[in-house]
Chain A
Amino acid sequence: MKFADKTTTIAAAIAQIPDGASVMIGGFGVPGTPFCLIDELVRQGPKNLTIIKNDANEQGMGVDHLLENGQVATLISTHIGLNPRAVGLMNDGTLQVEFCPQGILAERIRAGGAGLHGFLTDIGLDTEMAEGKQRVEVNGQTCIVETALKADFALLHADSADPFGNLCYAATARNFNPLMAMAAGQVIAEAEGIVAMGGIDPNHVHTPGAFVDHVVKLSTLTKEYAVVRR
């Protein structure tokens, strides 16, 4: 038995993303952010995107290039405080920002990927984060209905991949990547290294290749992947 080879070029993989698409992007700060896929998305320039990402990176990095290029209509995120441009665009109404508690964003994506429609939680119940959300009583506890979240595309960063798309992440670069891998119609993973089939121990696969549609090998890492001097 043989597995499909899903390796492709970065240009071909990103060319599928049209105006108005919803795009999940992995990463928490620098680790796990697919900077090269984002750069290609900036180069090809589809507009009116809905971006779903934990944070807005920092100014001059990652998602910020999409914001600077005017490609993002809506950002679904948990924290944008390290990116003054994102805060500014939100404040002047150019960018619609939907905030989610971080674990709730993760779980909404997980639920979407797991074929569920939503889940019940008491997180944020007494806060403005719960405003406008449906409430139900379960076993005497008031809960908020949180809807599942899916996207047209997911852009991931992996440490290593095989041609079928089995993925391994490094350290805290895992974060939202394996969740988003399950929750999008087309899943595009960039990998720092591509190993032969069988090169990843089946016990050590973080995302099974069956979730992944396209694998892009990174020939070089841009400076945005490097340690940030603080």
Chain B
Amino acid sequence: MKSDEDKLIDLILQWEEASERGEDIPPDRLCADCPELVKPLSDKISRLKKMAWMSKVGDTGAGLSAPDPMSGQTLAGRYSIEWPVGEGGFGRVYRAFDTELQRHVALKVAITKSTGVTNDLLQEARRAAKLRHPNIVSVHDVGRHDGSVFIVSDLIEGSSLADVIKTELPTPQQAAQWIADIAEGLQIAHDQGFVHRDIKPSNILIDQHGKALITDFGISVTTDQINRGQTRNIGTLSYMAPEQLAEEMTLVGPTADIFALGVVFFELLTGKHPFEAKTDSKRRQAILLKMPPSPSSIRQEVPDQLGRICLKCLAKHPSERFESASLLAKAIRILPTSKRRVSKMWLIAIPCILIVASPLLRRGDSKTPSKQNVTALPSVPDAKVAASVPLKVSPPKADGFYFDGEHRIVTPIRRSLPTTIEAWVKPRQQQMSAYFVGSGIRDELGLSIGTINSQFVGQRVRGALITRAIVEIGEWTHLAAVFGESETRLYANGKLVESGATDLSSIGQPKIFSGGELVEAGGVSKGSTPKRDEEAPFVIGGIGIKNRMFQFVGEIRGVRLSNVERFKKDFVPDEIFEPGSKSSDSTVLIYDRRSGGGEVVKDLSGHGNDGRWETSQPTGVPSVPKRDGS
């Protein structure tokens, strides 16, 4: 006979199961045979009801768990949406490809479908689209899709000043240069009647060349304000001017932007906020009443002249600040500054690419709302977003081959043992997992090298050999993997960093290197599922995996494949791979910048194993390049 406790548990489960079907059975009905349990059961059910939210595990309110309905769609007949890269108050941001201009763009789709809101957003976007300046992220197009507004703007690769401040402070001269550039961009906006009102580090982007660009996401403010019925005090407290905080809206004008830029300047110079406070209310008070310290009192190397310019921006009353943004820029420009090399640290500090939606600026009308940002960062720390230009071949500036996460080189080489893979590699960004030289299909069939979170990894048929060696972002590293019949050894810059058994359990008869002979595809073709012994050829730059987030982004300046165990102990890596430098017969493939910049990548080993660039296939199965004349 069951105890009361067991009975209670059974009753709870009955209630739960009914609840999952949408029924709410009253406790007294469940306890028809045991009325003494009504009370305890009621208590338990009450608790379970309060915890019903735990059953809605996928309900985030943002819908990220659901397949994105926009992916794959083409908007306005030209913007082919690839995948979502961020989300904010405004809506979702996608990486898209403009099929007419053949370039990648950032495309933002508003959440709201309210007619009034969409009209307002369209109006704002159209106004902002007229702003053109080298230091303002450009809006290119706006439109409607399924009742929502979408906005097309530059896709910016780089980082933001927020990242810079968090990682490594620039020199005072560099900071001043950026502030002057931004001020000049702001002046153009001010001249056209716009006030930004949300200048802050995360709204200032630094592109790959170190150029600063203002992004503005005024649309989100428009949305916010309309949705919340707010008309005032939209912005970010830490960067709001005293007149904004005091709600002296008639004073809020271009000089509010100058104040905010002064805060950013102060942070760039010192790494600290000019109005340090532990709580918002104290910060509010400090902005309204407290004088900021001199930047040079915090960081000695800040020249007094720059410090004074910064403090002038931070004056309490608008009339005490620079009268215009262009005057601020001029004040900086006339200072004697030495041209210093811009440290690239911050350009790579955050391994992600900012996708920027439009700089949408509003007119300085006190009755109209200001703006907020919806900076959209990629939702995955990875190569989900690749370079903004769809490269098929390496760009001229690259030391070797540049891989954008979408293209790769396919060779005629097949897996066999022994094999030595060598490559000089310079990753562009940290990736969760990216394999870049080896068998075109991973996992059970793979012999390849790559990185997992920057750690050098060798894939040997089954399972990976993970090393502790870090492949630094932005630096050249020589990686070598020797896949012997019985042992796999991994070398980073010529030093043995890991070794382990080569698992042959899933291989049938090992293939023989193709040498100069073209090996037929063996049934492997695009879209097919290869069988175990029909492994895909070696590829360079993006070992087949379905998810693009695993595609390598970076440079490879040289690759050498050998059908011997080339290294058995530590060695000094060859800077340039030359045929015949060791054993010419065993070197079956060499690619580097001498291989040409066209579609065909010339094999320098003398074995004729030329490769071809191709777009990474969604299936991950590369097509075997045909040899000329065959």
Q: Do A and B come from one complex?
A: no
